[in-house]
Amino acid sequence: MNVEEIIFNKYSDFGYKSVSGELYLPFKWALKLVEECNEQEIAVIGLDFVHINSTKIVPVSPLNGVDCSGLLYKHKIWVEVVKECNDFVINVLINEQNRDSTQYCNFVLLSISEWGSN
């Protein structure tokens, strides 16, 4: 099991897991996940916001999310990539929580080994 899977498994009890295995977290746990990613040197390179009701997962309207893929090759040192991506994601999470605290978040994580293989 890789680090990303360990992190997702650790947080799966605190959010909603879809039939397809996607994990959606409320803001409290989303922020904790990003903090743990910082500790484990995992970059959060994508983030989507949804609403979840009893029958379905609905993207927020207007569509809102984060794509940090443009930052992946801005730095030559992995810890700088992690810091810039994760700091940006934390700021977005805080702003979105203030705007609409009923949203859930879905993450795309990237490790140094995956970064190096691109």
pLDDT recorded at residue 84:
97
pLDDT band at 112 (very low <50, low <70, confident <90, very high): very high
Instruction: Look up the pTM and report it.
Output: 0.90
Q: Is residue 44 a contact partner of residue 86, using CB atoms and an 8 Å limit?
A: yes
Is 103 strand, coil or helix? coil
Instruction: Of 93, 41, 48, give the one whose Cα is nearest residue 67.
Output: 48
pLDDT recorded at residue 60:
92
C-alpha–C-alpha distance, residues 50 and 53, integer Å? 10
Query: Is the preceding omega at residue 62 within 30 degrees of 0, hence cis?
Result: yes
Whole-number average pLDDT of the chain? 92
Is 21 strand, coil or helix? coil
pLDDT digits (tens, 9 = 90+) for 89-104: 999 999 999 999 999 9
pLDDT digits (tens, 9 = 90+) for 65-96: 999 999 988 888 999 999 999 999 999 999 99
Cα angle 82, 88, 89 (rounded to 5 degrees) comes to 85
